[in-house]
């Protein structure tokens, strides 16, 4: 099971997998790690439950070993969880013509998610749901910084060399942005070292108060 971050206006992670019971635990672990990187640990418990149910439904109703994909998207305080597979049979809730096993997962989605649905795609279907995912104050600062680094990198295309990970490119963008800010401070007649010292003091104070 491998994953990658896709560039774009929202945080997005794509995890292809095979519908096997052993993959459920690996996907849950990947979700926890990804939400930690995005700074939204408050959504972990619900996300783990939803991913477990969605993946289990693929195993039961599409078949073990079937290729599928888990997609996580976080934007505007909402986490969207999607599972794509190659079956075009849409799931239905428990009803007169559906046994309890068939629709139990959909009732869990309805209970935990703020919204959910199913979509037919060009190669199969997607079952998706959304939950609230508000970051902590320190995480909002990190989110804002990441957005600034993404925009900075877009304006410096030379940084986008092939063969380097997205995380490495963002780290290089951070170094370049800090250097540019120090040049700006010097151009304003300020002491760059003093600016760095004040920033470090602010960071340490906020970290200690968290």
Q: Give kind and range of the element (H or E) at residue 178.
A: helix 166-187
The predicted pLDDT at position 30 comes to 95
Please give the Cα distance from 128 to 81 (Å, whole number): 5
From 132, 162, 191, the end of a domain falls on: 132
144 and 126 in a single domain? The answer is no
From 132, 159, 194, the end of a domain falls on: 132
Name the domain count of the chain. 2
21 and 72 in a single domain? The answer is yes
Give me the domain span that covers residue 201: 137-209
116 and 149 in a single domain? The answer is no
114 and 174 in a single domain? The answer is no
DSSP class of residue 157? G
27 and 104 in a single domain? The answer is yes
86 and 182 in a single domain? The answer is no
162 and 109 in a single domain? The answer is no
187 and 84 in a single domain? The answer is no
3-class SS of residue 14: strand
The predicted pLDDT at position 81 comes to 96
C-alpha R_g of the chain: 21
Give the CATH number of the domain where residue 23 resides: 3.30.565.10
pTM, whole model, 2 decimals? 0.61
8 and 103 in a single domain? The answer is yes
Q: Are 172 and 165 a contacting pair, CB within 8 Å? A: no
CA-based nearest residue to 75, from 14, 129, 132, 138: 132
39 and 142 in a single domain? The answer is no
The predicted pLDDT at position 1 comes to 54
Token pair belonging to 176? 């370049």
20 and 92 in a single domain? The answer is yes
The predicted pLDDT at position 41 comes to 80
From 111, 132, 153, the end of a domain falls on: 132
The predicted pLDDT at position 109 comes to 78
Residues of the chain with pLDDT under 70: 1-10, 93-105, 135-143, 156-166, 206-210
Cβ neighbours of residue 4 closer than 8 Å, sequence gap 6 or more: 13, 14, 166
Q: Are 85 and 62 a contacting pair, CB within 8 Å? A: yes
3-class SS of residue 164: coil
10 and 111 in a single domain? The answer is yes
- CA-based torsion, 94, 100, 103, 104: positive or negative: positive
């Amino acid at each position: 099971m491998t994953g990658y971050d896709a560039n774009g206006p929202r945080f997005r992670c794509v995890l292809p997998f095979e519908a096997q019971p052993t993959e459920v635990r690996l996907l849950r672990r990947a979700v926890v790690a990804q939400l930690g990187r995005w700074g939204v640990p408050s959504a972990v418990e619900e996300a783990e439950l939803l991913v477990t149910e969605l993946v289990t439904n693929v195993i039961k109703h599409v078949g073990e070993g079937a290729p599928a994909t888990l997609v996580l998207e976080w934007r505007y305080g909402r986490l969207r969880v999607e599972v794509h597979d190659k079956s075009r049979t849409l799931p239905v809730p428990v009803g007169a013509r559906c046994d309890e096993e068939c629709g139990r997962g959909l009732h869990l989605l309805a209970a935990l998610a703020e919204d959910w649905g199913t979509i037919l795609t060009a190669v199969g279907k997607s079952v998706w749901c959304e939950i609230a995912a508000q970051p902590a104050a320190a995480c909002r600062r990190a989110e804002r910084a990441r957005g600034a680094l993404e925009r900075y990198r877009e304006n410096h295309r030379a940084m986008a060399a092939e063969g380097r990970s997205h995380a490495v490119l963002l780290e290089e963008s951070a170094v370049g942005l800090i250097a540019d800010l120090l040049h700006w401070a010097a151009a304003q007649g300020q002491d760059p070292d003093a600016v760095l010292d004040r920033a470090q003091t602010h960071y340490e104070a906020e970290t200690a108060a968290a």
